[in-house]
Amino acid sequence: MGIEFSFIVIDDSELDCFVTQKFLERTNKSLIIKTFQHAQHALEIIQKDFNENNSVPTIIFLDLQMPFMNGFKFVEEFEKFSPEIQKNYKIIILTILSSSTNPIDIHRILTYGAVNSIVEKPLTKEKLVLLLNQVRADI
């Protein structure tokens, strides 16, 4: 089978990146996980990796509230990539949902093709297993 998924974690909190990464490592021994504290850096890598002809399906765990480039902006920028790049990725929004999060924004972000689902922090093992099954069904 080889590697089923590769992962990208985007979160400005170091601790959250660490926790998500460790949970992922526990679901599967052989996988590639990249973590980014800046959404912009993740975009650059996605662009670069495609040139190297990478075709392993990649799941992006994306936080919404980040300084500089927030999650909404990231998805908007991601949508500008060519369909060949986009089809390799599934985005899972991993965020804090609060009354200050605009429901219209949430609704809008779910209409993007690449966005698979939205999950409230903190991540748990159970949530992760469910999410991965959901992505498998989506591919």
User: Is-contact 105 129, C-beta < 8 A?
Assistant: no
- x/- map, 92-131, other proteins, by CB under 8 A: ----x-xxxx-------------------xxxxx------
From 11-19, 51-59, 85-93, 110-118, give the range in contact with other proteins by CB under 8 A.
11-19
Burial class (CB in 10 A: 0-12, 13-18, 19+), 81: middle
| Least distance to other proteins, CB of residue 47, Å | 21
| Least distance to other proteins, CB of residue 21, Å | 10
User: Is-contact 15 37, C-beta < 8 A?
Assistant: no
Region 24-83 residues binding other proteins, contact defined as CB under 8 A: 26, 37-38, 65-68
Exposed e or buried b per residue across 41-77, where buried means at least 16 C-beta atoms within 10 angstroms of its C-beta = ebbeebeebbeeeeeeebbbbbbbebeebbbbebbee
| Least distance to other proteins, CB of residue 125, Å | 7
Residues that bind other proteins (CB under 8 A): 12-16, 18-20, 22-23, 26, 37-38, 65-68, 96, 98-101, 121-125
